[in-house]
Structure 1
């Protein structure tokens, strides 16, 4: 019986440990090599492979692709120069069974997958949507009960229903304007519009502000016409104000002549 401290036992244990390490490293190397091979493919190649796979789901198309794999370009000449083999490889290729449109569709699917929000974000949006639908359902029930009442006028009913739906609808945040100084870069956050003082002044001159109704020369001319009309009406007499239209203009002249000064 061998002792536990003998050299033979230690050697066998060391060999077993080394073999296990080699086995673990071999599996890790295989997995890492597979990952590196996947990373080597670009988006176009991945989309092309998936387009092939989509076509091979059907039996008839799968058999057709397998039959087309044996073609006139299936040869392997030995002893050719490297430059000649590379040049021939570019031109001696069979037509691929997938089209550019199918590959483009797969790439568009990749972009859609990349643009999807995270799971937590999607769940939060779904919760908000569910809460908003519950509010709208409650508002609809209250609106039906208000509409069934007979002791309230139609005008007050519509007003109350509008207020209910206004409270139930989700409110959108208003845009905030951030004034940027000259030579200083200001980062505008979400829901904010970056403006400068010059733009605000130009908009104010054009009448695009809160109190303005129009912009440019047309707005100024309209204001001038309204102002001139007010001045004329202020200087008109009572009889002239009551008369309107082209026929009224003639009557106004007649009244003006007949009225004593």
Structure 2
């Protein structure tokens, strides 16, 4: 049996979507525990959340979900609740579903999640998007936009984060690896090929061992991933690695290392 997984879901307006996402997760991982987080505010948003909570609670009754109430507009409420869950479940793999979270809550949860190596975030994307928006070529489109844009400022929130930032790459060699892979369609068929692209000699055991350690470290930090295909172990950029490489290339602050020099051709002597 694989690693037992704990899932955490916020219940808003789309419990059916949350449930469908959970069903996909359940097929991939053995589920040990389920947390359902809901809006406890005494307003209409809270009423919707609590109503949908009961629906999802019934669907997931087999897992006896743990209920956690929060104020999704309160940094301290959200941060405290999720820190408590992640700390309690720190020996498990944790998957946090942000599908139904308001933006401020999702940002807060992301900050807390980054403090725990065993926690990951996911979201469920619906097949249909924007079907409730009128055809842009009709008069109803402008009226719809005006109705949606009629909110007035209530407050401005800052999402506090730890002042010590995460260093996702440690040196310029790692940046060069990202950029090199980015310019080579995002992957190398092996570490040997990557070393060649970096202009170094893969036959040197010290160099090969060094790159193996670097790639493993970058994989742990979510920049690269390795997968076996046949006899080769392919090295690929993750979405995060791709994003960083693309940004640095577009900014003009990074470029791939120069191609290795071609080996000199042996001198040929023609005797008469």
Shared fold by TM > 0.5? no
**Larger strand percent:** 2
Shorter-normalised TM-score: what interval?
under 0.3
> Computing the radius of gyration over CA atoms, which structure comes out larger, 1 or 2?
1
Give TM-score, length-normalised by structure 2. Answer: 0.16
Kindly indicate which of the two structures has a greater share of residues assigned to helix: 1
